[in-house]
Amino acid sequence: MEIGGSDSGGREFKNAEEMWREQAGDPSKKTDWYCQGVGYWQGVEASVDGVLGGYGHVNELDVQGSEAFLKTLLCERFPNSGTDCHLVVLDCGSGIGRVSKNLLLRYFNEVRSPEMQVDLLEPVSHFIEVARENLAPENHGSSDMHKATNFFCMPLQEFTPEAGRYDVIWIQWCIGHLTDDDFVSFFKRAKAGLKPGGFFILKENIARTGFVLDNEDRSITRSDLYFKELFHRCGLHLYTSKDQKGFPEELFAVKMYALTTDSPKRVHRTRSKVQANRPRIIE
């Protein structure tokens, strides 16, 4: 990534390679990078306000935006899904189960999937324990057929999913803790965890240009161009994307990406008009 960036203290980097060499350029530095990141979140209260950095009031807007995006994708990617469809989703960086409780379990209940299952992946132990409590059937009103199944207390960079298990892998506000190389390695492993027709949803903060390094929680906010370069390295195709609306102006912009492993289909046209939302290779 040749575009420069900065850190939260205002220091400038000429490119991402320079920043990563300094932050995680040898095994010791890389270990410190990940330990400090998890250590930051270990000191955060296991609540909606805690996991949203004091902006718990954006939870409802976040869920509304995510639900609209997910609903469209499920209709397009699984058009023949019915009451006998078994759908499984992985919630990466799940925290206290906020997205699972407020969106994933509830949404799949609404479409009456008979064996909807949610797996959660989270490296912070007190977050995952609160998630277990939050997603207990007696606490969220869901039937046993719509349930959180597995709780993995493990970081993204060490996780390998079961092959062919997931219809959707949801990744929100956590991929910034991964180095570029681990970002690519994670997605390459995770691709094998998708079922045919399955897809990733990545929802993340977006820098205006280049990147912004957060010195406190050891994370990086990447630009849209930066993400697209990494998607290309992962061998992923951008199916569609959408901006989150309504967040406070002082926050980073937030974008949702739907990513697929299947190549775009060739469509023969007599006119040059491009079909909206057709999968396209990242250039």
- How would residue 1 be classed by pLDDT, with cut points 50, 70 and 90? low
Tokens describing residue 271: 């006119």
104 is in an annotated binding site: no
Closest CA to 6 of 160, 155, 208: 208
CATH of 5-263, one of 3.40.50.300, 3.40.50.150, 3.30.1510.10, 3.30.2010.10: 3.40.50.150
State how far Cα 70 lies from the chain centre: 13
End-to-end Cα spacing for the chain: 14
Contact 201, 258 (CB under 8 A): yes
pLDDT confidence of residue 110: 39
State how far Cα 214 lies from the chain centre: 18
157 is in an annotated binding site: yes
| CB count in 10 Å sphere of residue 145 | 12
98 is in an annotated binding site: yes
pLDDT digits (tens, 9 = 90+) for 85-135: 678 899 999 999 999 999 998 765 434 445 668 999 999 999 999 999 988
Q: How far is 212 from 4, CA to CA, in rounded Å?
A: 9
Which of 30-34, 75-79, 135-139, 242-246 is predicted least confidently? Answer: 135-139
Q: Using DSSP, state whether 191 is helix, strand or coil.
A: helix
**Residues recorded for the chain:** 283
The ranges assigned to domains in the chain are 5-263
- Report yes or no on whether pTM surpasses 0.85: yes
Quick one: average pLDDT of 144-159?
Answer: 84
Contact 222, 211 (CB under 8 A): yes
Instruction: Write out the H or E segment, with its range, that includes residue 232.
Output: helix 224-234
Q: How far is 117 from 108, CA to CA, in rounded Å?
A: 9
172 is in an annotated binding site: yes
pLDDT digits (tens, 9 = 90+) for 174-216: 999 999 999 999 999 999 999 999 999 999 999 999 999 999 9
Instruction: Please name the residues in contact with 71: beta carbons below 8 A apart, sequence gap of 6 or more.
Output: 107
Tokens describing residue 234: 């992962």
Quick one: average pLDDT of 29-55?
Answer: 97
Contact 152, 169 (CB under 8 A): no
